[in-house]
Amino acid sequence: MTPPDLVVADAAVPGRDGRWTLVCAAGQVLELSPHDPAARFPEARVIEAKGQLLLPAMTDAHTHLREPGQEWKEDIASGLAAAAGGGFSNILCMANTDPVNDNESVTRLMLRRASEAWPHGPRLFPVGALTMGLAGKQLAPMEELLAAGCVAFSNDGEPVADTELFRHALEYAADLAPVIDHCEDPYMAKGAGANEGVMSARLGLRGQPDVAEALQVARDILLAEYLNAPVHLAHVSCRRAVELIADAKRRGAPVTAETCPHYLTMTDAALFGYDTMAKVNPPLRTDDDRLALIQALREGVIDILATDHAPHAAHEKETPFEDAKNGITGLDTALGSLWELVRLGQLSAEDIAQRFAWRPAEIFRLPHCRFAPGDPADFCLFDPEQSWVVTPETLRSKGKNTPLLGQSLTGRVTLTAVNGHVVYELARAGA
């Protein structure tokens, strides 16, 4: 048997009583066993967790790493740095680069940049464009993109308005890889960045009604059922969409869905003062929507969590509200912000593992760790009691555009390992 080379001792594990020791060798899990203080591993690096939570490293199915073409916002190296610091082992990055990732040369460039910058991970998995140039007129060469390394297809923030073309996309992709759809009616206050309601009226902003999202969710569900072809619904933000998805799942429709930490922890009240940092698409909704999403996540109606990490430069947010770019950076803060819901009893640590690690990896057929022998040694340590302040300096992403700036979070990733390589370790005070 290969001797252990990495050990995490004295860790708490969600769903299990007591303390545990994870033993790894050659990048794989050997065993997870009850902690024995007398056990010795002379040839291994032993990490003393001291009661911190041992979590499976997470998979983020929705990020924007901006390379090629918009490296002033983010590049693959800085995006993966943020991923490592956030506790992620797998990152899917969307196709809205410049040029668009609609051909194998762009896909291969992205993968090469990732392997050069972070050879041991986090792993990068490009999402290929669904249509050429994201223009919604002609399908992209999906088999070519799949062969080059793409694991899913999406038109991202440019949802396909032509339903006949979208139907063909679902049919063609059904035997290849999942289709991810950004659900937004292309004619109803597209990209407004504010929910249509009391807050938008108070601020005098053009708002987007939740029905703009629900219309597209309904179309996608009907097509998926009719064709028996799967579709994954991106960043669900409202109760109306949740109810449609719940009904579809009761009928057995091949539909999966995601939501994001900001839709679970914030409402459109964050726009008060015309805060462009809280401008995102789909927009932050009401507290009723937020509570519906939390319940849906607990019950599995919403399958997974994803950050929709969307970094922007400062000058792209320091504008009048209507001119500001949509998007919130999320890789650095995802787990810390969600942990407040765990503290409140609205989610559990097991929910986090299921919805942010295991289920997304299953949907997109990616490597993941359930701490079983032979699993990749992908894990993170999380200190649920450590408080930290979100500042430009504590964010590893180039994008500092988050409404959490200046706020204190309780709970922090202290170490991330991918395939048994420690790719991030928080510097200890005084060390």
Q: Is 65 annotated as a binding residue?
A: yes
The closest of 235, 404, 403, 214 to 324, measured between CA atoms, is 403
What is the C-alpha R_g of the chain? 21
- Assigned token pair, 388: 């930290």
Q: Is 96 annotated as a binding residue?
A: yes
Q: Which residue has the tokens 């040694």?
A: 377
The closest of 362, 366, 308 to 89, measured between CA atoms, is 366
Q: Is 182 annotated as a binding residue?
A: yes
Q: Is 235 annotated as a binding residue?
A: yes
What DSSP string describes 28-87?
A: EEEEEEE--TT---TTSEEEE-TT-EEEEPEEEEEE---TTT-TTT--HHHHHHHHHHHT
> CA–CA separation, 131 vs 237, rounded Å?
25
Distance, C-alpha 63 to centroid of its chain: 6
Amino acid at the residue 165: L
Q: Is 281 annotated as a binding residue?
A: yes
- Assigned token pair, 64: 């924007």
Give yes or no for a contact between 59 and 16, defined as CB atoms under 8 angstroms apart. no
- Assigned token pair, 154: 């999406």
88: helix, strand or coil: strand
Q: Is 375 annotated as a binding residue?
A: no
Q: Annotated active-site positions, please? A: 308
- Max distance between CA atoms of the chain, in angstroms, equals 68
Give yes or no for a contact between 125 and 66, defined as CB atoms under 8 angstroms apart. no
Residues belonging to the chain = 431
- Assigned token pair, 261: 């930490």
> CA–CA separation, 62 vs 21, rounded Å?
32
Q: Is 421 annotated as a binding residue?
A: no
Q: What is the DSSP letter of 317?
A: T
Residues tagged in the binding site annotation for substrate:
64-66, 96, 281, 312
Residues tagged in the binding site annotation for Zn(2+):
62, 64, 156, 182, 235, 308
Residues tagged in the binding site annotation:
62, 64-66, 96, 156, 182, 235, 281, 308, 312
